[in-house]
Structure 1
Amino acid sequence: MTKQPTLRATPLALALALALGLSGCVSLAPKYQRPASPVALAFDDALANPATPANPATSEAAAQLEWQRFFADARLRQLIDLALANNRDLRVAILNIEQARAQYQIRRADILPTVNAAVTGSRVPGSNDSITSTYTAGFGVSAFELDLFGRVRNLSEAALGQFLATEEARKSTQIGLIGSVANTYLALLADDELLVLIRQTLAAREESLKLIQLKFDNGVVSKVDLSQGQSLVDTARVALAQQQRQRAQDINALVLLVGQPLPASLAPANTLAQTELSALPAGLPSDLLAVRPDIRAAEQQLIGANASIGAARANFFPRIALTGSAGSASSELSGLFKGGSFGWTFAPSVVLPIFDVGRNSANLGSARAGRDIAVAQYERSIQVAFREVSDALAGQSTFAEQLRAQRAVAQAEAERFNLSDLRYRSGAASYLDLLDAQRSLFTAQQQAVQANLQRLQNQVTLYRVLGGGWSTAKR
């Protein structure tokens, strides 16, 4: 260690200041430009603005409408709250953010020099059997890269893109979780409504079977009518068992989403027929770029891949590293902190790649390919979003009419059944007519419940694909 008691730490401080000033002056990354949107400029007017919406439309965009206001059912809001607190997929997404944040902070720390305090001692053999002792104590900077060509800064930018993409992925997970809880809950309401319908149908068929049995015992009807009546009863029992199984499976799915057993203290549930959700405005496809977390995540990945090209290009240029220290040095441990023992060292190094068997070129080619992949993934995320919104808008404009028509069919089949039942009891119609009317009524009633479920689930899906579910109401 060279002793310089008069200059103190000035040369080392000036060297570090110059290094920090020059660091990151040049970036070799390509200038980032957002790719053109590969979808139409507007959604189909017939879908975006249905002539007869199922429910009054809100003027608020889905991304600005808090889920607490979109879902009016108190029981559903409680379940969503539990899911946000306990769902394991969401918990993993949050922990991924923490991991990505730490990785970004590691890369960011490389931009500035790391200063360490150290005390060292060495004893080496000299001439004539003598031993040379050296003791040092002070502060040092080890192999700090002078980032003249932006390699370190671009690596930091790439890590930042990964961190921001992970944060957006967490938002996507939350939006998807809220939509899944809502759709599963609606399916459970449909299960309950179908169970009531099936039990009513089973009771009616059992009463009808008693009448047929009585007529058979008195020789009024044949064995064929009795067998058909028994078949209808058994068919209803099969449907009941199937629906009970489906309800149990939907409860299991809801428990998995919520992350815990369903508590007994939940608010009373509405019926599916009592549940209504507002129609949502579609907006423009360009709006999705700002509100869809999956699109924003893909763009952050693209920005990070673009920065990686700059880091790969910088590998072709000289890499300058600075190592230095300042402190006290003495040949005796007792004189380490005495006056006049100050000293400093400054040791820059330059490495210029000459022959690397094409490694740097391959790294650059890989970075460019990664950027092209990120562009394709970004464009695909936009196309997927456009398709999802278009499908949900198509549902919004058609499910209401389907439900109205299906309910009309069920009403007509109910009238047909009542008339067939009267005609059969009076002997004016065969049991085959009544049997057909019973089957058609049961099918129409089931389809009406399913049509209402599809309509409501489509509204939840539209809310999700338009970016709804991330904003939360202010507490």
Structure 2
Amino acid sequence: MNNVIKSTLFFAGCLLIISSCAVPSLVQKNKVLSVPSSFHGSTDTSNAATIIWRDYFTDPYLIALIDTALKNNQEVNSLRQEVLISGTEIRARKGEYLPYLGVGAGAGFDKHGRYTNIGAMEANTEIAPGKEMPEPVPDMSVAFKAGWELDIWKKLHNAKNAAMARYKGSIEAQRFFTTRLIAEIANTYYELLALDNQLINIRQNLDIQQNALNIVKLEKNAAAATELAVRKFEAEVLKNQSRQYVILQQITVAENEINFLLGRFPQPIQRNAQLFSTLVPTLVHEGIPSQLLENRPDIRQAEFELQAAKLDVKVTKANFYPAAKIVGGIGFQAFNPAYFLRSPESMLYSMGGEIIAPLINRNAIKAQYYAANYKQVQAMYHYEQCLVRAYTEVLNQVSNISNLDKYYELKSKQVLALTESIDISNSLFKSAR
């Protein structure tokens, strides 16, 4: 018995040496882009990414729209299903490295030729004391079967961990889309309020221009103005009248876009256009670039995908090593079920083990190994791309906020100057009269 064990261990060691020496070498990409330490030299360490959207937006109509979208948007619900699918993959991978136990039953019969060795023995054998062997011979069995693949190289554990990483990545993908969805709804909603106010301003200007046109017509009748002046005023009135329909179309498109994001067919969007003039933007802090790694769901998703890809390489590499498996079974077998309870005569059992290592024609596992490595490198590039894109997006928004602040400051001065010019014009007009 000891000699058999020693021979088995020696054979397994030889298989390990042969197979491990034949694992293909790979070229890996290990260097990752370094994230800059700040945005254009900013030392602000405050982080606006930790603000909850319900605390950032105060418009009740907008909050209601976002709540509806988070509940009904088809893409959000689809990503929720993707998370559930990833969760089932974890269960499947976890079950692979645990022992399995099954139960089975079978029935059949055999009839051998009389002039064969088995047939001759059956003809001269009693199946029970004083009872001849029946023809054909029934065979019935019921047994429990068990098996366990020993996870020597952590292949199954790595596969489970890869599934876990992808599960976490699917959660981050859902969070990233949710963030984008909230931002898109808010952006379109405020554009809609701006269009409402533009329409109000145009209609107010039309009333003023129509009155001015009537005055010019009266002046023309009194020979105080020319037909050219009348036509110029009419053209200006018609231009603003046509402008109304352009804005109305933009309002329709914006409303339909919001309804689409909410996962419903077009319908009016409830809103209060008067709130637009009272909006005060919340102060936003960009923080430092390293905080992107903590708060950007797309970066976290790419990181989890990279972890999974690295684990996949380990899983496929383990295919080159010997795999050990233990199998066994226990049950009852007899020509008649009535004999099942006659133990140990009707009992059957088995126990065995095997070690298998690939030696010849390993093209399939080589292809899997190379493909896993290529996907790992691809995941690394995708991770770097997410870092660059996230940094660029934040930098663009920081620049946008700064330039808009300066633009708003100059526009405020322009409005003040125009308001003062109107007052001066009114004073001159009154003094001239």
The equivalences for 1:319-334 within 5 A come to 319-334=323-338
Q: Distance in 2 between matches of 1:270 and 1:257?
A: 24
Contact 2:143/2:329, CA 8 A, preserved across alignment: yes
Alignment partner, residue 111 of structure 1:
97
Cα separation, 2, equivalents of 1:230 and 1:427: 27
Residue 75 of structure 2 corresponds to residue 68 of structure 1: no
User: Matches of 2:341 and 2:164 in 1, distance apart?
Assistant: 44
Q: Distance in 2 between matches of 1:381 and 1:278?
A: 27
Matched-pair contact (CA < 8 Å) for 1:75–1:269: no
In structure 2, the CA distance between the partners of 1:239 and 1:420, relative to structure 1 (3 Å rule), is: farther
Amino acid at match of 1:192: D
Q: 1:284-363, aligned counterparts within 5 Å?
A: 284-340=288-344, 341-356=346-361, 358-363=363-368
Displacement of 1:98: 0.9
Task: Assess if the C-alpha contact under 8 Å between 1:165 and 1:298 holds in 2.
Answer: yes
Aligned partners of 1:419, 1:290: CA distance in 2, in Å?
57
Moved more, 128-137 or 299-308: 128-137
Which residue of structure 2 aligns with residue 385 of structure 1?
390
Give 1:107 deviation, angstroms.
1.8
Partner SS for 1:219: coil
Alpha-carbon distance between aligned partners in 2 of 1:319 and 1:375, rounded to the nearest angstrom: 30
- Distance in 2 of aligned mates of 1:41 and 1:264: 46
Distance in 2 between the 1:75 and 1:263 partners?
14
C-alpha distance in 1, partners of 2:59/2:409? 23
From 122, 128, 135, the equivalent of 2:108 is 122
Does the Cα contact within 8 Å between 1:78 and 1:266 map onto a contact in 2? no
Higher RCO (C-alpha under 8 Å, 6+ residues apart)? 1
The alpha-carbon deviation at position 421 of structure 1 amounts to 7.6
Separation in structure 1 between the aligned mates of residue 59 and residue 238 of structure 2, nearest angstrom: 36
State the AA in 1 paired with 2:388. Q
- Once the two structures are superposed, the pairs formed by residues 193-208 of structure 1 within 5 Å of their partners are 193-208=197-212
Match of 1:454 in 2: none
Distance across 2 between alignment mates of 1:162 and 1:125: 55
**Given the superposition, is the C-alpha separation of residues 82 and 269 from structure 1 closer, same or farther in structure 2, using an over 3 Å criterion?**
farther
Cα offset for 1:363?
Answer: 2.0
Tell me how large the CA RMSD over aligned residues is. 3.0
Which 5+ residue runs of structure 1 have no aligned equivalent? Answer: 1-25, 50-58, 429-475
Shift of the 91–250 alpha-carbon distance from structure 1 to 2, 3 Å rule, reads same
> 2:50, 2:295 within 8 Å by CA — same for their partners in 1?
no
1:182 Cα offset (Å): 1.0
1:127 Cα shift?
A: 4.6
Tell me the TM-score normalized by structure 2.
Answer: 0.82
Mark the CA change 1:74 to 1:269 in structure 2 (over 3 Å): closer, same or farther.
Answer: farther
Please say if residues 73 and 270 of structure 1, whose CA atoms lie closer than 8 Å, have aligned partners that are also in contact. Answer: no
- Aligned partner of 1:215 in structure 2 is 219
Instruction: Render the CA deviation track for 1:372-401: whole Å, top value 9, x for unaligned.
Output: 111111111011111111111112223122
Instruction: Output the CA distance in 1 between the equivalents of 2:246 and 2:270.
Output: 26
Conserved 8 A contact 1:193-1:271: no
Matched residue SS, 1:324 = strand
1:89 is displaced (CA, Å) by 1.4
TM-score (norm 1): 0.75
Q: Distance in 1 between matches of 2:382 and 2:370?
A: 18
Worse overlay, 322-331 or 414-423: 414-423
User: Cα 1:112–1:270, aligned 2, differ >3 Å: closer, same or farther?
Assistant: farther
Which residue of the partner structure matches residue 229 of structure 1? 233
- Aligned residue type for 2:339: G
Identity across the alignment (%): 22
Aligned residue pairs total 390
Report SS of the residue matched to 1:387.
helix
Give unpaired runs (5+ residues) of structure 2: 1-19, 120-134
* Structure 1 counterpart of 2:77: 91
Secondary structure of the structure 2 residue equivalent to 1:271: helix
Task: Report whether the alignment pairs 1:133 with 2:144.
Answer: no
1:274 — aligned with what?
A: 278
Q: Given that residues 197 and 273 in structure 2 are in contact (C-alpha distance below 8 angstroms), is that contact kept between their aligned partners in structure 1? A: no
1:60-104, Cα deviation, whole Å (9 max, x unpaired): 733332111111112211111111111111111111111111122
SS of the residue corresponding to residue 320 of structure 2 reads coil
Counterparts of 1:357 and 1:318, CA distance in 2: 13
SS in 2 for 1:321: strand
Q: Distance in 1 between matches of 2:308 and 2:318?
A: 16
1:165 to 2:161 alignment: no
Q: Distance in 2 between matches of 1:414 and 1:138?
A: 96
Where does residue 44 of structure 1 map in the other structure? 40
Which residue identity lines up with residue 36 of structure 2 in the other structure? A
Q: CA deviation at 1:273?
A: 1.7
The aligned amino acid for 2:402 is S
